[in-house]
Amino acid sequence: MILSLTMAWVADFVGLSAVVGAFFGGLAIRQTPQYEEVAESVSAIGYSIFIPVFFAEIGLVMTFSSIIQDAIFIILMTILALLSKFWAGKYSSEYFGFTPLEGNIVGAGMISRGEVALIVAQIGIAHHLFPRDIYSSLILVIIVTTVISPFILNYYIKKTPQLS
């Protein structure tokens, strides 16, 4: 744990994202014999402290006053996010030999991948790359696509005979 936090600090100190340093710290720990013991304790600490703090920070930074004003932007970004994630998953899986029905399932499964987008949005707002109203709209788009994803995935699973 100390190694990952130290590497996160070093990464931040040299101008990289702390997430990158923590990731490499995790990779280093994975190579040790104590990996499983460390993974259990890190998971417990992450789920009880760091993840709730991360989501609380997201909520603290959001503003709802601009969401009504940005409704068209939010709708367009949600459609763009849904379609781009779906198509990327579908067509890349078909390229690697999956059937079109299986490609639909992969595409639908890729829609809910919002955790990285949340991290990127957090980094963006922390570095003042965009205003809070845009940040709030992006967070809402991430939440909406994550909530919609299981319904789309379930639809395509039911259309696939060997899975329904």
Range of the domain at 56: 2-61
Q: What is the pLDDT of residues 123-148, one digit of tens each?
A: 889 889 988 889 999 999 999 999 99
Per-residue model confidence (pLDDT) at position 142: 92
Residue 117 resides in a domain: yes
Question: Tell me: the pLDDT tens digits for 67-104?
Answer: 888 899 999 999 999 999 999 999 999 999 999 999 99
Report the pLDDT value the prediction gives residue 79, as an integer from 0 to 100. 96
Residue 92: HSE in the Cβ half-sphere, 13 Å Cα cutoff: 11
Residues 52 and 21 in one domain: yes
Q: Are residues 143 and 105 in the same domain?
A: yes
Residue 164 lies in a domain: no
Domain count, the chain: 2
- 153 with 75, same domain? yes
Q: Each residue of 12-40: pLDDT tens digit? A: 899 888 888 988 988 998 899 988 888 88
Residue 111, domain member (yes or no): yes
Do residues 90 and 106 touch, judged by C-beta distance below 8 A?
yes
pLDDT of residue 100: 92
Nearest CA to 86 out of 103, 72, 100 is that of 103
Whether 163 shows a pLDDT value over 90: the answer reads: no
Within this chain, do residues 28 and 102 fall inside the same structural domain, yes or no? no
Residue 67's pLDDT is what? 80
| Helix ranges restricted to H, 14-131 | 18-30, 35-45, 51-61, 71-95, 100-110, 115-126
